[in-house]
Amino acid sequence: MGFKCKGGGKKLALGEKLSFLRDRMVENFVWTVAFAEEPQFGYYRRVAAKVNAVITTIDDIYDTYGELEELEVFTQVVDRWDINAIDSLPEYMKICFLALHNFVNEVAFDVLKENGHNVIPCLKKVWADLCKSYLVEAKWYRNGYKPSLHEYLENGWISIGAPVILVNAYVVLSNSSLIDSVSLDEYYDIIRSSSILLRLVNDLGTSEREKETGDIPKSIECYMNETGASEADAGRHVNWLISETWKKMNKEATTSPEFKSFIDVALNIGRMSLCMYQYGDAHSIQDLETKNNIMSLLFQPIIV
């Protein structure tokens, strides 16, 4: 996988070194087109494509490849953000952490040049929070723990990766005067709602595949375990939660401080999640319908 960022000319060539990774370069880019399709947001799309690639990489490490002891050390290294601590990591984790570290510094450098703000603290925190949420799920899975739906979602809205996507959108799409006048904390509610929406829709689409490959219980299973409901009733409950989350997010979009391009990304995450997961896991399984949709969107000319 290789994505170039404006000015840096550097690549995240993770797939060349970590053969166990899912190769989802095109799918990652399709997500970014949905987040912000306007021509002026080309740099943001390149950053977002890298964000998606790194999220997928770290997710695969925690889900399928890393040993629990290794994952605990990796989480600590990311939380400390100490490049000198990588000697405590196995080789494949060194590559991953260096890629993450360099990418965050690259984005922060571009933002600093553009508007004079140091965004490394908020970027490294959101990546550390993601790794901590992955570690919680890794421990749940290895211990056979079955969380309640509430407990699952309190962790799952972070582990879905949307906060990382949205914080990067905030720092890249902002200008200096906006960062000075509006704190990221003022968008907490819409970030959370967008993330919960992606988590719930993702769970509906990936539940069957991940039951076969082995994973923690998802929203449907958590509700079934907690209430004794049938799978059909649990599915209806999750769909109801999706509907309620949409209503909440629409309200938050109208009451949050004015920052249209950022709020559009938050809303578009929900829209794109339905496109990718409404009929299954189109992000991980390259079925014919997904291929046709991508070809139509990106490669086939519009005949006029």
pLDDT digits over 169-209, tens only? Answer: 999 998 766 666 677 888 999 999 999 999 999 998 875 55
pLDDT digits over 139-169, tens only? Answer: 999 999 999 999 999 999 999 999 999 999 9
Cα–Cα dist 159/207, whole Å: 15
User: How many other C-beta atoms lie within 10 A of the C-beta of residue 107?
Assistant: 22
pLDDT score at 5: 39
pLDDT score at 110: 95
Per-residue pLDDT for 72 more than 70? yes
pLDDT score at 12: 52
User: Nearest-CA neighbor of 190 among 91, 260, 107, 120?
Assistant: 260
pLDDT score at 216: 86
| Mean of the per-residue pLDDT values of the chain | 85
Which residues lie below 8 Å from residue 116, measured CB to CB, with a gap of 6+? 176
Task: With cut-offs at 50, 70 and 90, classify the pLDDT of residue 2.
Answer: very low
